[in-house]
Chain A
Amino acid sequence: MMENDPLRSVLREWQAPEPRAEIESRLRREFRARHPRSPWTAFWRLRISIPAPALAVVALVLLALFLQFRTAPAPVSPRAGGGYVTRLDATGFQPLPNGAARVVSVRGIKQ
């Protein structure tokens, strides 16, 4: 009955505007103010911006500090008993007797 009502068709000519996108931005801000993130979440989402020259200076300073204060290797002192091995020889080498060689598996070696 009302579908054919001329009043209804005239009323339908009154169009409302669409809500602006700014309302959503405002609501998001209000939401974040009411529900602040946990410190850990905030930490993991933390972003800082630093100029590249400043970053280069910081890196150079750190490198200089590392080189300045790194620990020097301990001097090698000769052992009390024997001294240094300066060459190898075949002293004590014992070849296998003829026919004593046999094939063993890797598992056999491990066991």
Chain B
Amino acid sequence: MDGISASDADLLLRARQGEEAAFVQIYQRYRRSVFQFAWRLTGSEAAAEDVTQECFLALLDGAAYDPQHGALRTYLLGIARHRAIRRVRALERDSEDTEDAPDTIDPLGELLAAERTEMVCRAVATLPLPQREALVLFEYEELSMEEIAEVTGVEVGAVKSRLFRARESLRKRLAPLLSAAAARSSG
């Protein structure tokens, strides 16, 4: 872990000195993580691309990364979170007039209308933003509670609470899928 962090710091230093290859190496190392996190928060590929670009440019512009205080990936996800939240709020303001998502999903209608992944996507999208980001970071980026706390700027206890509520909410919303999955695994 220390070796990787030191290498990141070295690459970042060289990138800031103008070495394009070092910058590209950092990008290639973390692009997937940053982009997919932003995509899962915003639900928009275009927004996720913009967020990804802004994150890596923020590194060049002298964003205060300190390798002593955590991994570069966590740091980048923190920047991505800020940028993505701004976009999500803007999108929410734009869609205030649209009707709210239902509390439960009609199983037959949804199964006819969309794939299972679409149901998961919609269920996650209906979570409040703090719960959504905690869930995405935990389930998809596989960050620890401590790392999530670092990215989101809250206490570990708050992360645990958000994660618990997110999972409970998803259990309710995705009940049809869960029972089908349980039936498949038992049968």
Show the binding face of A for B, using Cβ within 8 Å. Answer: 6-20, 22-24, 26-28, 30-32, 34-35
Q: Are A10 and B120 in contact (CB under 8 A)?
A: yes
Instruction: Answer whether A7 and B52 are a contact pair too, CB < 8 Å, given A19-B32, A23-B31, A34-B60.
Output: no
Q: Are B170 and A24 in contact (CB under 8 A)?
A: no
Count of chain B residues near A, Cβ 8 A: 39
Question: A-side binding surface: helix, strand, loop or mixed?
Answer: helix
**Closest chain A CB from B148 CB (angstroms):** 14
Contact with A along B39-56 (1 / 0, CB 8 A): 110000100110011001
**Closest chain A CB from B53 CB (angstroms):** 6
Out of A20, A26, A28, name the residue touching B20 (CB < 8 Å): A28
Contact with A along B84-122 (1 / 0, CB 8 A): 000000000000000000000000000000001100110
Q: Are B182 and A6 in contact (CB under 8 A)?
A: yes
Q: Are A19 and B35 in contact (CB under 8 A)?
A: yes
Instruction: Answer whether A35 and B49 are a contact pair too, CB < 8 Å, given A7-B178, A19-B31.
Output: no
Instruction: Please measure, in the bound complex, the distance between the C-alpha atom of A9 and the C-alpha atom of B73, giving whole angstroms.
Output: 25
Q: Are A11 and B53 in contact (CB under 8 A)?
A: no
Instruction: Please measure, in the bound complex, the distance between the C-alpha atom of A56 and the C-alpha atom of B113, giving whole angstroms.
Output: 69
Out of B35, B61, B117, B181, name the residue touching A23 (CB < 8 Å): B35
Instruction: Answer whether A10 and B39 are a contact pair too, CB < 8 Å, given A23-B52, A27-B53.
Output: no
Instruction: Answer whether A31 and B32 are a contact pair too, CB < 8 Å, given A7-B171, A7-B178, A20-B49.
Output: no
Q: Are A23 and B49 in contact (CB under 8 A)?
A: yes
Q: Are A31 and B23 in contact (CB under 8 A)?
A: yes
